[in-house]
Amino acid sequence: MISSVRQHFSFLKPLANRYVGFLLLLFAYTLIMQQCGGLPAVLTAWRLEIPLVLYLFYYVNLITRPSRWQFLVAAAPIFLVYVVFDVYHLLLGRLLRFAEVSELPEMLQVIPFGVKILIGLLLGLPLVALLWSIEWHRVRRLLLGALPLLAILVAVEVCPAFFMQAFEGSQKDIDWCSDKVSAGSNGRIGMALYNEARRRSSLEKTVAYRGNSLCQLEFDKVVGTVNAMRSKGNVHLIVLESFIDPSLLRGVRFSRNPVHPAFAALFKNKGGLSVSPVFGGATAQAEFEVLCGVPAMRELSGIEFDVFTGAKTLCLPNVLTQGGYHAVASNAFLPDFFNSTNAYAGMGFEKIYYPSEYAPGRETYFNAGDLTGEAYMFDGDLFTQNLAFVAKWLKENPGKPLFNYIMSIYGHTPHLINLDKRPKVIEMLGDVRDEQLERVVNQYYYRTEALAMYVKELMRIDPKSIIILMSDHLPSLTYGPNTYRDLDYLGKTEDYIHLNRIYIVENGRVVHYDPIHHYDVPRIILSYVTHAKFVQHGVVKADAVHAHLDHIDYREQYMTIMANAMHGKSLFSAFNFLSCFDAPAPTPEPVAENKAAGF
């Protein structure tokens, strides 16, 4: 009898072996990635993640033709999703969100052609094999088998609050300070679904924030203070792409000091540190914080810039413009990169300039010049042309203050350097060998030379001004955060991969500030403009717990900025617009003094 029972259920044996083998491979893969610095293993994610991937594996087996390759055809797309999550985390130090798929065009524009081909093969071949293996004539099986997946997606997109409630009630506790920890508890795909539902839920709530009278009053108050100032110093804010200070890498030695002597003499070790919201990429997130004065929370989009429509919102350029300044933005790359044109317009820049090669027909004052062997515009060429622009403006517009904002691009990966124009002057010593880092270090030498020239000339032609030089984020270098850990960046202090250099000159004098966040920069600028003292809100700590607390403090301001940026009419009386919406404003939450406006 036992033998007959075994024979009766013998058809389940290969099935069981297949699914057990799939799970063992998945566990092994995630354990290996965890040891390599990737996301945590999914050994404990049994409440949604593991059942979900088992269902997906079953479904693909169900709709594909039986063959000796069926196991690989069914498993490959699932493993490919996991690989994408882990590579994204290894390079950029954060958990991928579904909304960030929209960033792929930007990412593809800035990676080498050979890497594009490799990515195309790695993604394309498994998908082509899957599409070729599907039994398309079995329509009933295809549709019925997909119903559970469609139900989850519909719940996320159409009923996000319901999905979030069900997720929070059924899954392990979410660590609000660490996506990485949450991904280990609830899985990569599970947390990505939850984050998407949270984004959708936040979008639904933005209408209520368009009538936020508290933020309107704070904005008007700041604008009124700026307007009342008789003497307004000019503002020069320069954000430098991937501007890493090699001297902060304590585990490597160089043949000479990486900083140019002119830059070292000018700033005399008075460089500060600022906490960036990102690592390795997503420059627009750093720009958002620097120009809007709130953390880039990614509540409404993976990149805040991507959902700006050009509608006016409460950010530093609008404050200065309404306060009597002429606000101009000069971006050294493409106009459609990270939706910068709409974002800059919504923030309040009156003029937006790009290199003539990238924006034919648009008004501009500069060109990218010779990019041979380097791919991106050299900082020195940008600064030289900007100096001529500033000098002309000062001469033709006496008494009209200027907000001069620059976003560079030269330090972007893969950090190519034309050795004919900029010969190698620095070599790495000792056992550490990293060609990309060596290129970065030599770029840094020439960039600091160009910066020293630029700042000295600005100080000469515009002595009564504030000049801020800062890095948007650290470059990912060869191995992402692991490179910084291995080379002992800043002694591996807490959350070191988000700490970046910042240099400040006020009225011709170099000043040093204790560590700040990128979103503190607008308050520093407005303190200078209004002749007030910048007040540090406690000791800055670049850790997840304090970042979460800051997000709570600034959330009302963030939601108000995004609600207006995304949906049209500004609500701030200084813009002379009235809201066309009658949605009630949310009850203001208590906020610390000066934080309500982000300044």
Assign residue 470 the CATH number of its domain: 3.40.720.10
pLDDT of residue 574: 32
| Confidence (pLDDT) at 45 | 87
- The β-bridge relationship of strands 428-429 and 402-407 is unpaired
Number of domains composing the chain: 2
Structure tokens, 133: 């293996």
pLDDT computed for residue 305 by the predictor: 84
Look at residue 587 and tell me if it is in a domain. no
For residues 320 and 327, the answer to whether their CB atoms sit within 8 Å is yes
Domain extent for 55: 19-207
Distance of alpha carbon 534 from alpha carbon 520, whole angstroms: 10
Burial class (CB in 10 A: 0-12, 13-18, 19+), 570: buried
Q: Cα separation of 446 and 260, whole Å?
A: 7
Q: Do residues 317 and 263 share a domain?
A: yes
Structural domain contains residue 220: no
Kindly give, in sequence order, each residue whose CB lies less than 8 Å from that of residue 451, ignoring residues fewer than 6 positions away: 263, 379, 383, 469
Q: How far apart are CA 415 and CA 278, in angstroms?
A: 19
Beta bridge partners of 352: 329
Contact 508, 463 (CB under 8 A): yes
Q: Given 532, 560, 589, which residue is the final one in a domain?
A: 532
Same domain, 456 and 415: yes
CB 566 within 8 A of CB 311: yes
Predicted pLDDT of residue 264: 95
556 falls within a domain: no
Residue 55 within any structural domain of the chain? yes
- Of 479, 497, 532, the last residue of a domain is 532
State the pLDDT at residue 576.
31
Last residue of a domain, one of 532, 553, 569: 532
Count CA within 13 A, CB hemisphere, residue 274: 32
- Spatial separation of the C-alpha atoms in residues 346 and 561, rounded to whole Å: 10
* 349, two tokens: 């820049």
**Same-domain check for residues 132 and 267:** no
What is the pLDDT, as a whole number, of residue 355?
92
In a domain, 406, yes or no: yes
Residues 140 and 260 placed together within one structural domain of the fold? no
Going 387 to 389 to 390 to 391, the CA torsion angle's sign is positive
Residue type, 437: L
On whether residue 212 sits in a domain, the answer given is: no
Q: What is the pLDDT of residue 272?
A: 94
Please check whether residues 381 and 442 belong to one and the same domain. Answer: yes
Check whether residue 164 and residue 121 sit in a common domain: yes
pLDDT for 470:
97
CA gap 277, 500 in Å, rounded: 10
pLDDT of residue 460: 96
Kindly report the backbone phi and psi dihedral angles of residue 234, in degrees, each rounded to the nearest multiple of 5, phi listed first.
-70, 155
Give the separation between CA 336 and CA 362, rounded to whole angstroms: 13
The reported pLDDT for the residue numbered 340 is 84
User: From CA 500, how far away is CA 396, in angstroms rounded?
Assistant: 36
Distance, in Å, from the CA atom of 245 to the CA atom of 221, rounded to the nearest integer, reads 38
What's the DSSP call for residue 541? -
Average pLDDT per consecutive 10 residues, the chain (599 residues; last block may be shorter): 51 65 92 86 89 93 91 91 85 70 62 74 84 90 92 89 89 74 88 83 74 77 88 95 93 92 93 92 92 89 79 90 95 83 90 88 89 92 96 93 96 90 91 88 96 97 96 90 89 87 95 93 94 70 55 83 67 29 34 42
156 and 278 part of one domain: no
Instruction: Give the three-state DSSP class for 407.
Output: strand
Position 273 scores a pLDDT of 95
Residues 180 and 273 both lie in one domain? no
> Are residues 512 and 370 both part of a single domain?
yes
- Strand partners for 510: 505
Question: What is the reported pLDDT for 207?
Answer: 74
For 517, the enclosing helix (H) or strand (E) is: strand 516-517
Based on the fold, state whether residues 38 and 107 are members of the same structural domain.
Answer: yes
Say whether both 202 and 238 belong to one domain: no
pLDDT for res 103: 59
pLDDT of residue 478: 84
